[in-house]
Amino acid sequence: MNNVQIVKDHYAASDRGDLQGMLAPFDPDIHWTEAAGFPYAGSYVGPAAVRDNVFARIQSEWDDYTVTIDEVLDAGDTVIGIGLYSGTYKATGRYFAARVAHVWRLADGRVVAFEQFTDTELVMRAVDDR
């Protein structure tokens, strides 16, 4: 399976709500980085850390949180996903939509690194209860 298909399979698992499928291609030492200013900002190492600090929190804190990827670009060992985040933050009832870019780095068929780029201000407007 090529790197683009591995990333596409992750997004398809996300669309199905299949957490195990989302984590399946992750290297045991994956380095996952959420953008500064994002509610889950930081870097996490290992699939369990990503699951607990990103995916589980999104599931518990948002209604209808969606990642819609419009384009997946092949750059060999790097794959770029471009799309849209959207959802409603449960605590405030506020909706947001923001463009997103994901940079995936792969080695030997495993995801070894991920970095997110998004308009964190749009996300935080939904989270902020002021």
pTM: 0.94
Report the pLDDT averaged over residues 110-127. 96
Q: CA angle at residue 111 from 22 to 1, to 5 degrees? A: 85
pLDDT band at 54 (very low <50, low <70, confident <90, very high): very high
Instruction: Give the domain ranges of the chain.
Output: 3-127
Structure confidence at residue 130 (pLDDT): 66
Distance CA(18)–CA(11), nearest Å, equals 10
Backbone phi, psi, residue 46, to 5°: 95, 150
Alpha helices in 27-88 (DSSP H): 47-50, 56-61
Strands 42-45 and 62-75, by their bridges, are: unpaired
Give the torsion sign (CA, 82, 121, 60, 47): positive
Residue type at 42 in one-letter notation: G
CATH number for domain 3-127, candidates 3.30.420.40, 3.30.413.10, 3.40.50.11540, 3.10.450.50: 3.10.450.50
87-118 confidence digits (pLDDT tens): 999 999 999 999 999 999 999 999 999 999 99
Model confidence pLDDT, tens digit, residues 13-31: 999 999 999 999 999 999 9
